Chain A
Amino acid sequence: MSDAEQPTDDHVPGAEEEEFEPIQVFPEAEEMDLRPGADNCYKCSTCDTNCPVAEVDDEFPGPKFQGPEQWRLKRQDDHDVDDSVMKCSNCMRCDSACPSEVPLSQMHNTARGEYVEEQMEKFSREYLRNRILANYRRLAPLAAAFPRTANFVMGLSVTKWMGEKLLGITSEREFPEFVTETFREWWTKRGGAKVENPDKRIAYFHGCYSNYNTPEVAKALVRVYEHFGYEIMVPDQSCSGTPMFANGMLEDARRAAETNVRELAAALEDGADIVASCSSCSMSLRQEYPELFDFENTETVAENTWDAVEYLRVHEDLESELEGRSVEGDEFDDFAYHAPCHSRNQGLDGQTIEVLSMIDGIEAHDVGDSCSGISGTYGWKEENYETSMKIGEEMFEHMDAADAQTGLTECPTCSMQMEHGTGYEIKHTLEVLEAALVGSGSAAGGRREAG
């Protein structure tokens, strides 16, 4: 084998030290070059067996096609990106399925971005609808300014009917309620951090949903972290980008990411680590940013971002702190826990069950490894609603069979799907920790103004 044929290194550890100098065979890549990843695929199809969409919809050709095969096809000039890429729900399960380190979701994200940019009609209903869903954050401040009006209007059947007919947003789902006081408003009114501590500082990436829709989750994080003596910073932030990646709106995502990386990098300079309470937000900062963008400090932000519960496990003795504690109130007795795909992909799927097992009187039952099926904005689209509910069927069955009063998860849209499919009320793990650590007073007031 001549040195010119030296195979592309497939991330063999230790290979970095090799003195081997490759000869330039291909012209310098002007755009993202995923060839090494595509060449790693040996067609075992493990990714396909993990794809929740392909399992219920045989029109979807699966992640192996969307990733390495499509990438190869695209090397031929006369091939467009196949429109089936829009059926991918961006659950990212294929990433951890692959035994051969193929960056599948990165390929899907770039293909989807190219499809939307170059092939989707910009005046189409689909584009408009996707843009609105992807940029839900843009509407949210407006709705939050007039939450009662917004909730009333959104709840009207005529609004839902119009949403479906005009935009293709399913009328089957209840729009999430906007709160009368956002988390950031609460935070400002409260006077910001109650604890100052130059040695223990976190920058909280709350994301959109816990700001506009479930501030009780964000408040729980604040109380739990202050309990451990942390100084909390709440930097300016934009959407994490998750819904934008899923809709191929890469330019919108890039703008949002630029703001986030800048603000979070500044917080790192101030000695903080970054924590997020939403599993898709942390996934986005940790994995998708470095895969798709190269702003200054993108890697540093990724490497210093943590899931909120994981951070406490590693930096505090969370389990000992929880041992022997109990929580008042029936709603905290038994949980049906669903691990979101984006938690699973971060190796966090067992965490909640492990941590909650330390608290007396709380039983959390894992309802299995299936996908909830909503995948962010995916299940909101009229054409995906049925697929989304079919995917969720297994989780619904297991939740119904579980001996539990309340549902539990860390992902806002999984929680919508769990509630929609089973009628359970859904809580976030941080709310349970808050109740156990800070006391029942604030637990009962979890949904009331408190603080």
Chain B
Amino acid sequence: MAIEDDVLVIGGGLAGATAALAAADAAPDVRVRLVTYKQSTLRHASGLIDILGYAPDSPEEGPLVDPFDALSDLPEGHPYERVGSEAVREALAFFDDVAGDAYAGDHTDANALVPTHGGTVKPTARYPVSTADGLASDDRDALLVGFETLPDFEAPLAAAHLEAAGAPFSARGATIPFPGIVRDDAKVTRYAHLLDQDETVTTGAGETGAREALATTVAERLADESRVGFPAVLGDEHAAEVRADLADALGADVFEVPMGPPSLPGMRLEDLLYDALEDAGVRVTSGVPVIDYETATEADAVAADGGSGADRIDRVVVDRNGTEIPHCADQYVLATGGLVGKGVRSEREQVFEPIFDCHVPHAADRYDWFVDDVFGEQPYARFGLASDRDLRPLDAGDEPEFANLRAAGAVLGGYDFAAEKSGAGVSLATGYVAGTRAGEEADR
């Protein structure tokens, strides 16, 4: 007997979580399950929600002011072109509902410019509230604070970069010891935990809570700046409280600068999404991979959808440390990620999708998978599944691979999220559409 649900989403990142939430939202009576193998790459993510930062065909023209203006110019096959710009707006509104107060930026269509830990600015549609006081369009002077034991953020360098990039304010960097951290390679979670729990730490000034100790150390460096930026380690579960305490003690606004992996803002986004999944009654099975599938008999397929011609997935097989557990659903969403998330894999002779073996368009000769210019238009960056407008993956003959499988997020091809800054937006839009359709169809 298989474990049965109506909609089964495979993959637990931004696309998978959005698909599961959208399915539950579209059809409250259907039972939705999300199966995810390893932890999602949200822990690598900045936590920023970008839609489109640069036009794919003319990135040299600089960041886009309004990403929605550019959506209609995207080439055929781009995931945004597949779902249509109205769906992108709906998906973003759906995200705003889920995120509530945790994110900002919904007051305008225009991209916000968020400073990064390298001192560059990233165009993005939504941003965690913790970064809101750091926007590069804000003309207040800023003090950036780095920690001696956290080499990922070199505050003076980031400040100099920001000024060189033409930010409309003066930025200054200072590097301080983090009270309570002795070790050179303490994890970012250790910094966050110290502040979250306000653990007692010992500094030259004696024993105090970690928040007070940090504020005291920073206050000595603060001149007349009205905002202070820190690397994004200011708490995890109680991040808002940590920021408020620091701001009170410093008499200045406090913001976080998004960091490289592993990233607290990415982890907080993950927590936010998983809390929402729990509230929506979505069942989550994590830590185990989907390794195989079985198709339905022709008779069952005809009974289910009148016989569209495409195969129907009857069940998938989940591997639990060697034991094979069948999971059955009416509709399936594939949101296993791209080359980094391992939803798309490669070996010397081929690029492939490992669960359903869906067709991945790519050149036969592997020397055509890349170009020599590192920052040039790399073909491999666009590797992924092609889909129809219903987000069903297409085979080599442009026919749907399966009648009841849709794909969402980075497993889809036809776009270069790193170059055009569209990773989160594509995951949201395709996850929203795939999940909504799957939910509606399972409900019929």
Q: What 0/1 pattern do residues 89 to 111 of A give for CB contact below 8 A with B?
A: 00000001111110000000000
Most buried by A among B190, B285, B342: B190
CB atoms of B1 and A49 under 8 A apart: no
**A15 at interface (Cβ–Cβ under 8 A)?**
yes
Please name the residue on chain A nearest to B237 by beta carbon: A394
CB atoms of A49 and B43 under 8 A apart: yes
Query: Which residues on B sit within 8 Å (CB–CB) of A347?
Result: 35, 285-288, 318, 320
**B283: which of A14, A18, A354 is its contact (CB, 8 Å)?**
A354
**B382 at interface (Cβ–Cβ under 8 A)?**
no
Shortest Cβ distance from residue B16 to the other chain A in the assembled complex, whole angstroms: 14
CB atoms of B287 and A349 under 8 A apart: yes
**B3 at interface (Cβ–Cβ under 8 A)?**
yes
How far apart sit A56 and B189, CA to CA, in the bound complex (Å)? 9
CB atoms of A314 and B38 under 8 A apart: no
Shortest Cβ distance from residue A275 to the other chain B in the assembled complex, whole angstroms: 11
Please name the residue on chain B nearest to A97 by beta carbon: B39
Most buried by B among A55, A286, A310: A55
How far apart sit A304 and B326, CA to CA, in the bound complex (Å)? 15
Shortest Cβ distance from residue A385 to the other chain B in the assembled complex, whole angstroms: 17
**A58: which of B35, B181, B320, B322 is its contact (CB, 8 Å)?**
B181
Q: Which residues, 392 to 441 on B, are CB-close (under 8 Å) to A?
A: none
Shortest Cβ distance from residue A403 to the other chain B in the assembled complex, whole angstroms: 16
Q: What 0/1 pattern do residues 149 to 180 of A give for CB contact below 8 A with B?
A: 00000000000000000000000000000000
Q: Which residues, 295 to 330 on A, are CB-close (under 8 Å) to B?
A: 299, 302-306, 310, 313-317
Shortest Cβ distance from residue B425 to the other chain A in the assembled complex, whole angstroms: 22
Q: Which residues, 21 to 69 on B, are CB-close (under 8 Å) to A?
A: 35, 37-39, 41, 43-44
Query: Which residues on B sit within 8 Å (CB–CB) of A55?
Result: 187, 189-190, 193
**A68 at interface (Cβ–Cβ under 8 A)?**
no
**A137 at interface (Cβ–Cβ under 8 A)?**
no
Q: A56-B193, A346-B287 are in contact. Are A44 and B261 (CB under 8 A)?
A: yes
**B321: which of A12, A15, A286, A394 is its contact (CB, 8 Å)?**
A286
How far apart sit A283 and B321, CA to CA, in the bound complex (Å)? 8
Q: Which residues, 307 to 360 on B, are CB-close (under 8 Å) to A?
A: 318, 320-323, 325-326, 340-342, 345-348, 352, 354
Shortest Cβ distance from residue A104 to the other chain B in the assembled complex, whole angstroms: 12
**A344 at interface (Cβ–Cβ under 8 A)?**
yes
**B2 at interface (Cβ–Cβ under 8 A)?**
yes
Q: A44-B44, A99-B341 are in contact. Are A54 and B189 (CB under 8 A)?
A: yes
**A13 at interface (Cβ–Cβ under 8 A)?**
yes
How far apart sit A286 and B319, CA to CA, in the bound complex (Å)? 11
CB atoms of B323 and A316 under 8 A apart: no
Q: A96-B38, A97-B38, A314-B1 are in contact. Are A344 and B286 (CB under 8 A)?
A: yes
CB atoms of A14 and B323 under 8 A apart: no
**B325: which of A62, A314, A354 is its contact (CB, 8 Å)?**
A314
**A331 at interface (Cβ–Cβ under 8 A)?**
no
**A135 at interface (Cβ–Cβ under 8 A)?**
no
CB atoms of B347 and A15 under 8 A apart: yes
Q: A49-B188, A366-B278 are in contact. Are A99 and B286 (CB under 8 A)?
A: no
**B284 at interface (Cβ–Cβ under 8 A)?**
yes
CB atoms of B190 and A98 under 8 A apart: no
Query: Which residues on B sit within 8 Å (CB–CB) of A344?
Result: 286-287
**A263 at interface (Cβ–Cβ under 8 A)?**
no
Query: Which residues on A sit within 8 Å (CB–CB) of B43?
Result: 44, 46, 49
Shortest Cβ distance from residue A293 to the other chain B in the assembled complex, whole angstroms: 14
Q: A303-B323, A314-B3, A345-B287 are in contact. Are A12 and B38 (CB under 8 A)?
A: no
**B15 at interface (Cβ–Cβ under 8 A)?**
no
Shortest Cβ distance from residue B378 to the other chain A in the assembled complex, whole angstroms: 18
Most buried by A among B186, B284, B291, B318: B186
Query: Which residues on A sit within 8 Å (CB–CB) of B325?
Result: 310, 314
Please name the residue on chain B nearest to A57 by beta carbon: B190
Please name the residue on chain A nearest to B194 by beta carbon: A58
How far apart sit A87 and B318, CA to CA, in the bound complex (Å)? 33
Query: Which residues on A sit within 8 Å (CB–CB) of B186?
Result: 54, 58
Shortest Cβ distance from residue B427 to the other chain A in the assembled complex, whole angstroms: 16
**B267 at interface (Cβ–Cβ under 8 A)?**
yes
**B303 at interface (Cβ–Cβ under 8 A)?**
no
CB atoms of A59 and B183 under 8 A apart: yes
Query: Which residues on A sit within 8 Å (CB–CB) of B237?
Result: 394
Query: Which residues on A sit within 8 Å (CB–CB) of B37?
Result: 96
**B299 at interface (Cβ–Cβ under 8 A)?**
no
CB atoms of A46 and B323 under 8 A apart: no
Query: Which residues on B sit within 8 Å (CB–CB) of A9?
Result: 347
How far apart sit A54 and B354, CA to CA, in the bound complex (Å)? 34
CB atoms of B342 and A99 under 8 A apart: yes
Q: What 0/1 pattern do residues 162 to 206 of B give for CB contact below 8 A with A?
A: 000000000000000000011101111110010001000000000
CB atoms of B322 and A62 under 8 A apart: no
Q: A55-B187, A58-B183, A302-B321 are in contact. Are A44 and B262 (CB under 8 A)?
A: yes
Please name the residue on chain B nearest to A286 by beta carbon: B321
Please name the residue on chain A nearest to B43 by beta carbon: A46
Please name the residue on chain B nearest to A61 by beta carbon: B185
**A382 at interface (Cβ–Cβ under 8 A)?**
no
CB atoms of A96 and B190 under 8 A apart: no
**A45 at interface (Cβ–Cβ under 8 A)?**
yes
How far apart sit A305 and B323, CA to CA, in the bound complex (Å)? 7
CB atoms of A48 and B262 under 8 A apart: yes
**A350: which of B39, B285, B340 is its contact (CB, 8 Å)?**
B285
**B39: which of A50, A61, A299 is its contact (CB, 8 Å)?**
A50
Q: What 0/1 pattern do residues 259 to 279 of B give for CB contact below 8 A with A?
A: 001100001000000000010
**B323: which of A15, A44, A62, A304 is its contact (CB, 8 Å)?**
A304
**A421 at interface (Cβ–Cβ under 8 A)?**
no
Shortest Cβ distance from residue A382 to the other chain B in the assembled complex, whole angstroms: 21
Shortest Cβ distance from residue A309 to the other chain B in the assembled complex, whole angstroms: 12
**A51 at interface (Cβ–Cβ under 8 A)?**
yes
Query: Which residues on A sit within 8 Å (CB–CB) of B354?
Result: 12-14
**A290 at interface (Cβ–Cβ under 8 A)?**
yes
**A287 at interface (Cβ–Cβ under 8 A)?**
yes
CB atoms of B39 and A46 under 8 A apart: yes
**A393 at interface (Cβ–Cβ under 8 A)?**
yes
How far apart sit A15 and B325, CA to CA, in the bound complex (Å)? 23
CB atoms of B181 and A96 under 8 A apart: no
Query: Which residues on B sit within 8 Å (CB–CB) of A366?
Result: 278
Query: Which residues on A sit within 8 Å (CB–CB) of B197?
Result: 393
Q: What 0/1 pattern do residues 236 to 271 of B give for CB contact below 8 A with A?
A: 010000000000000000000000011000010000
CB atoms of B182 and A99 under 8 A apart: no
CB atoms of A290 and B322 under 8 A apart: yes
Please name the residue on chain B nearest to A287 by beta carbon: B321
Q: A44-B44, A99-B39 are in contact. Are A12 and B183 (CB under 8 A)?
A: no
CB atoms of B189 and A48 under 8 A apart: yes
How far apart sit A349 and B186, CA to CA, in the bound complex (Å)? 29
Q: What 0/1 pattern do residues 379 to 397 of A give for CB contact below 8 A with B?
A: 0000000000000011000
> Can you list 16 A-B contacts (CB < 8 A)?
A13-B354, A45-B262, A46-B39, A46-B262, A54-B187, A58-B183, A96-B39, A96-B286, A97-B38, A99-B38, A101-B38, A286-B320, A299-B322, A303-B322, A346-B321, A366-B278
A-B interface, 7 closest residue pairs, ranked by CB to CB distance from nearest = A347-B288, A286-B321, A96-B287, A303-B322, A58-B186, A49-B262, A58-B183
- A interface residues, Cβ below 8 angstroms from B: 6, 9, 12-15, 18, 20, 44-46, 48-51, 54-56, 58-59, 61-62, 65, 96-101, 283, 286-287, 290, 299, 302-306, 310, 313-317, 344-350, 354, 366, 393-394
Other A-B contacts than A59-B183, A347-B320, 7 sampled, CB-CB below 8 A, are A13-B345, A58-B182, A283-B321, A302-B322, A314-B1, A314-B2, A347-B35
